[in-house]
Amino acid sequence: MQGMAFSLYERQYLGIHGLLPPAFMTAEQQACRIMTKLREQPNDLAKYIQLDSLQDRNEKLFYRVLCDNVKELMRIVYTPTVGLACQKFGFIYRNPKGLYITINDNTISKIYQILSNWPTTEVRAIVVTDGERILGLGDLGAYGMGIPIGKLALYVALGGVDPEWCLPILIDVGTNNEKLLKDPFYTGLRRKRVRGKEYDALLDNFMVACTKRFGRQVLIQHEDFGNQNAYRLLDKYKKLYNMFNDDIQGTAAVVVAGLLTTTRITKKKLREQRLLFFGAGGANTGVAEMCVRQMVEEGATVEEACGNVFMIDIDGLITKSRQGSLTARHLPFAKDMPEHKNLLEIVQAVKPHALIGASTAGGAFTTEVIKAMAELNERPIIFALSNPTANAECTAEAAIKGTDGKVLFASGSPFENVVYNGKVYKPGQGNNAYIFPGIGLAAALFRSKHITDKMFLNAAWEVAESVSHKSLYTYSRIYPRLKDLRELSIRIAIDAGNYLYHHHLATLYPEPDDKKITIDRITTTSQSFPFQEMYIRQHIYSSEYQDVVNRIYDWPPEDCKRGYPTPVLERLSMEDEE
pLDDT digits (tens, 9 = 90+) for 319-351: 999 988 899 999 999 999 999 999 999 999 999
- At 496 the three-state DSSP class reads helix
Helix (H) or strand (E) holding 418: strand 418-420
Give the integer Cα–Cα distance in Å for 516 and 519: 10
Give the integer Cα–Cα distance in Å for 532 and 368: 50
Domains of the chain (ranges, CATH numbers):
1-77 (1.20.1370.30), 94-241 (3.40.50.10380), 249-432 (3.40.50.720)
Q: Is 247 a known ligand-binding residue?
A: yes
| pLDDT at residue 559 in the model | 82
- Cα-flanking dihedrals φ and ψ of residue 51, to 5°? -65, -35
Q: Give residues with Cβ within 8 angstroms of 266, minimum separation 6.
A: 273, 353, 378, 379, 381, 408
CA distances (Å), origin 272, targets 292, 307, 312, 530: 12, 11, 20, 34
Check if the beta carbon of residue 373 is closer than 8 Å to that of residue 355.
Answer: yes
Please name the amino acid found at residue 30: Q
| pLDDT at residue 534 in the model | 84
Give the integer Cα–Cα distance in Å for 358 and 255: 11
Check if the beta carbon of residue 143 is closer than 8 Å to that of residue 86.
Answer: yes
Q: How many CA atoms lie within 13 A of 165 on its CB side?
A: 23
Peptide bond just before 80 cis, omega within 30 deg:
yes
Q: How many CA atoms lie within 13 A of 79 on its CB side?
A: 22
Give the integer Cα–Cα distance in Å for 439 and 462: 12
Count, residues in the chain: 578
Q: How many CB atoms lie within 10 A of CB 168?
A: 23
CA nearest neighbour of 186 among 196, 178, 194: 178
Strands (E), 103-158: 125-129
- At 355 the three-state DSSP class reads strand
Q: How many CA atoms lie within 13 A of 322 on its CB side?
A: 24
Buried b (16+ CB within 10 A) or exposed e, 309-336: bbbbbeeebbbeebeeebeebbebbbbe
Please name the amino acid found at residue 120: T
Give the integer Cα–Cα distance in Å for 86 and 146: 6
Sign of CA dihedral 235, 241, 243, 249: positive
Helices (H), 523-563: 533-539
Sign of CA dihedral 352, 356, 361, 363: positive
Q: Is 133 a known ligand-binding residue?
A: yes
Extract the residue ranges of the chain whose pLDDT is less than 70: 513-531, 550-552, 563-564, 571-578
Q: Give residues with Cβ within 8 angstroms of 437, minimum separation 6.
A: 154, 155, 158, 159, 160, 161, 485, 489, 492
Q: How many CB atoms lie within 10 A of CB 405?
A: 16
Model confidence, pTM: 0.90
CA nearest neighbour of 113 among 205, 20, 29, 34: 205
Q: Is 223 a known ligand-binding residue?
A: yes
Q: Is 232 a known ligand-binding residue?
A: no
Catalytic residues, by residue number, are 78, 151
CA nearest neighbour of 440 among 188, 206, 167, 171: 167
Give the integer Cα–Cα distance in Å for 373 and 383: 12
Crossing angle of helices 70-77 and 59-68, in 10° steps, is 120
Check if the beta carbon of residue 389 is closer than 8 Å to that of residue 80.
Answer: yes
Give the integer Cα–Cα distance in Å for 1 and 19: 13
DSSP state of 173: -
Q: How many CB atoms lie within 10 A of CB 389?
A: 19
CA nearest neighbour of 430 among 358, 343, 377: 358
DSSP state of 410: E
Give the integer Cα–Cα distance in Å for 36 and 52: 16
Please name the amino acid found at residue 454: K
Give the integer Cα–Cα distance in Å for 254 and 260: 10
Give the integer Cα–Cα distance in Å for 228 and 339: 25
Dump the DSSP string for 279-328. Answer: --SHHHHHHHHHHHHHHHHTT--HHHHHHTEEEEETTEE-BGGGGGG--T
CA distances (Å), origin 417, targets 15, 226, 257, 383, 557: 51, 33, 21, 16, 63
